[in-house]
Structure 1
Amino acid sequence: MMDFSAIVPALPGLGDGLLMTFQLMLLGVFGGVALGTVLALMRLSHSPLLSKIAGLYVNYFRSIPLLLVITWFYFAVPFLLRAITGEDTPVGAFTSCLVAFMMFEAAYFCEIVRAGIQAIPKGQMGAASALGMTYGQSMRLIILPQAFRKMTPLLLQQSIILFQDTSLVYTVGLMDFLNAARSRGDIIGQPHEFLIFAGLVYFSVSFIASQSVKLLQKRLAV
């Protein structure tokens, strides 16, 4: 019979792991949205070169698994930095995972942002231009604020997916929530109980967030 009583004393350590998970998710989302917005503007640019570079970036990262990106950054980037600087530059598990999440998620956020921008009537850009605004001013003050309002539910939904994907950092030994639960369960000799508890936490957070996104979607639709 399963005994979940050992989970209560382990909550402080599990809480640290959950905090690590949320840090990775939030920083990955902010960095991914920022880079994804730049990529979206490049894809919509009148410059064929910029558009092609952004398109290649998006297609490449959407064609490979996230696990490969995490391990590549963790193992390969130090070698690249050594070749460039000539010195050993430790990257660290947290930094390598964070950069991997930002670059990987940017490919998906790029398509969300691009769709949001294209959903804004083109006449608004023409009206802004007629008022004497530059392209940058039109995007920053008129187009992007409206586009982000439209695509907020999709951005949040992708953020939930990233929250779940943070569990992949176990491959580089980073002590996120799942890895903390698994390690503590192995030490105590109750791996099943701790993994079940971790699954319930992931489910609860994802379910509550998904329901909140649906409510937000209805409110924005009105």
Structure 2
Amino acid sequence: MLGLDFSWLDWDIIDKFVLGGLRFSVQLTLVATVGGILFGTLLALMRLSGKSVLAGPATVYVNGMRSVPLVMVILWFFLLVPAGFYTYLPDGANHRAEYSAIITFVAFEAAYFSEIMRAGIQSIPRGQVFAAQALGMNYAQTMRLVVLPQAFRNMVPVLLTQTIILFQDTSLVYAIGAYDLLKGFTNAGKIYGRTEEAYLLAAVVYFVICYALSWTVKRLQARIAIIR
């Protein structure tokens, strides 16, 4: 028997330790998703532009980021970016780890969202591009008005799936001391001497959230398939 004891857990513990960490994990996921999609879409357009001056740097960036473990990138940003940089951000001196995590995740996830968006753009029939050009649209107008709206719709399930993976990966910011969901459970477990239970509870919370989101994505994917 492991002798697990959860009697120490109550709402006050959750409110004091866990909710703040959960809030940051969700915020980090949302900011990294939005920023990653925007930056990733730009990278995808650069790679598809046919101009080596744009495609080359974008390809190097995407392949480079995708070839390095996320935890190493987190540590690099945290250790190499001067501490003085964070003083220009609101309360940056006290939240250096959190700001570093946000910057890292946006930069890192952009490489993955870029590949998703590139596949989505390439899935649009070339005939629609030719039709837009025949109507007098330039490259930017064709992408903004014709290609990207359809690409986003096609890629919604994949984008959401990547977001779920991103939420799981937020636990890696524990390496730089950022106060995320895992950190909240860890602190509570250490104070009450129940570290094993704290890690088990954290795993359960991650599982419940990710399972619920995965179920939602499957339902959305089925609905999109019906619309098509």
TM-score, with structure 2 as normaliser: 0.91
Match of 2:54 among 41, 50, 67: 50
Please tell me whether the aligned partners of residues 36 and 106 of structure 2 are also in contact (alpha carbons under 8 angstroms): yes
Identity %: 49
Deviation string, structure 1 residues 142-200 (Cα, Å, up to 9, x no partner): 11000000000110000001100000111111110101101110111011111111110
Unmatched tracts of structure 2, length 5 or more: 86-91
Match of 1:11 among 1, 9, 14: 14
1:113 matches 2:117: yes
Deviation at 1:127, TM superposition (A): 0.7
For 1:10, give the aligned amino acid.
I
Equivalence for 1:130: 134
Equivalence for 1:151: 155
Equivalent runs, 1:201-216 vs 2, <5 Å:
201-216=205-220
For 2:153, give the aligned amino acid.
R
Deviation at 1:213, TM superposition (A): 0.8
Q: 1:176 to 1:79 in 2, by over 3 A?
A: closer
Match of 1:76 among 76, 80, 85: 80
For 1:17, give the aligned amino acid.
G
1:62 matches 2:102: no
**Counterpart secondary structure, 1:5:** coil
State the 4+ residue runs in structure 1 displaced beyond 3 angstroms. none
1:2 matches 2:8: no
Deviation at 1:215, TM superposition (A): 1.1
Please tell me whether the aligned partners of residues 78 and 97 of structure 2 are also in contact (alpha carbons under 8 angstroms): yes
Equivalence for 1:27: 31
Please tell me whether the aligned partners of residues 61 and 104 of structure 1 are also in contact (alpha carbons under 8 angstroms): yes
Please tell me whether the aligned partners of residues 62 and 111 of structure 2 are also in contact (alpha carbons under 8 angstroms): yes
**Counterpart secondary structure, 1:175:** coil
Match of 2:202 among 198, 213, 220: 198
**Counterpart secondary structure, 2:178:** coil
Equivalence for 2:89: none
For 2:175, give the aligned amino acid.
T
For 1:153, give the aligned amino acid.
P
Counterparts of 1:53 and 1:26 in 2: how far apart (Å)? 27
Counterparts of 2:24 and 2:206 in 1: how far apart (Å)? 14
Counterparts of 1:192 and 1:104 in 2: how far apart (Å)? 31
Equivalence for 2:186: 182
Unmatched tracts of structure 1, length 5 or more: 82-88
